[in-house]
Amino acid sequence: NALYEEALIAQHSGRVDDAVRRLESLLRRAPDSALAETAMAQEFRWLAPVDRPRAQAAARRYLSMFPMGSSRAEAEQVLAQ
């Protein structure tokens, strides 16, 4: 929870790279956590405006882990752009 909160704070402060690094750290440390799906979705959302290739890679990872996830349509949209 602390890493996710730190990621949100970084993102709200405009530090997208820092925010994404914290999400990645959370996912490495606790890939099965209750926040995993949300963190993976946030990753491609935050990257989409600033780094399309990384956002698409994150969207693919999200869909591989959560093919019927709540952010499926958003992930597919990132991949289609």
- Higher confidence at residue 1 or residue 60? 60
Q: Report the 10 Å Cβ neighbour count for 5.
A: 11
pLDDT digits 0-9 by tens, 12-70: 999 999 999 999 999 999 999 999 999 999 999 999 999 999 999 999 999 999 999 99
**Whose structure tokens read 């996830």?**
69
pTM over 0.85: yes
pLDDT at 1 over 90: no
Chain centre distance of CA 79: 14
